[in-house]
């Protein structure tokens, strides 16, 4: 399987010039180096430390996206099974349709992205380079209710280090806008 290839999103191209997301210098460098042509292996050959963590951060902020058909598992998850099913035997009945995600309100999407950036900066102080891993649910949230539920999970993790009351106070700054 070829190495995945990523490209900048519109937000990523804007971030290169605007510097709004508060990226670390190395993460910003990775963003600049992502060009839609070089795979992860080519980026890794440049000697960037902890490359996957930086890519995860950029993906969470939606500053980069996988190039379709470039070896990413998410690029075409159903292509192989459908081909195998068609060549193996005729299909008697159509498969049930996959659930369609509700359309995302652009204003809510912008608000969630702003809260995700704020959460990343705050959580990075507590979890350091493990922030993208620890806060995956926060960065995967696409709606405000999903973001709230993800914060509840983070609160339990923060409570281990700083106590329940302090963790609640810390995350209430993020919940204040909700």
Taking the chain (178 residues) in runs of 10, the rounded mean pLDDT of each run is 83 86 85 88 82 88 86 42 41 49 71 85 84 81 85 85 87 74
Residue 86's pLDDT is 41
Residue 72's pLDDT is 52
> To which residue do tokens 């690029």 refer?
75
The pTM is what? 0.48
Residue 9's pLDDT is 92
Residue 104's pLDDT is 63
Where in the chain are the domains?
6-66, 106-175
Residue 92's pLDDT is 47
């Amino acid at each position: 399987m070829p190495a995945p290839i990523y490209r900048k999103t519109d937000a990523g191209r804007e971030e290169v010039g605007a510097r709004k997301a508060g990226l670390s210098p190395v993460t910003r460098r990775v963003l600049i180096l992502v060009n839609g042509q070089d795979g992860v292996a080519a980026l890794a050959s440049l000697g960037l430390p902890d490359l996957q963590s930086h890519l995860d951060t950029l993906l969470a902020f939606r500053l980069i996206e996988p190039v379709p058909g470039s070896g990413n598992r998410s690029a075409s998850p159903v292509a192989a099974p459908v081909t195998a099913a068609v060549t193996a035997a005729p299909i008697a009945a159509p498969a049930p349709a996959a659930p369609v995600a509700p359309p995302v309100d652009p204003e809510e999407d912008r608000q969630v992205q702003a809260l995700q950036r704020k959460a990343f900066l705050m959580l990075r102080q507590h979890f350091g380079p493990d922030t993208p891993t620890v806060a995956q649910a926060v960065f995967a949230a696409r709606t405000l209710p999903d973001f709230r539920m993800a914060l509840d999970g983070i609160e339990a993790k923060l409570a281990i280090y700083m106590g329940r009351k302090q963790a609640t106070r810390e995350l209430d700054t993020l919940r204040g806008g909700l």
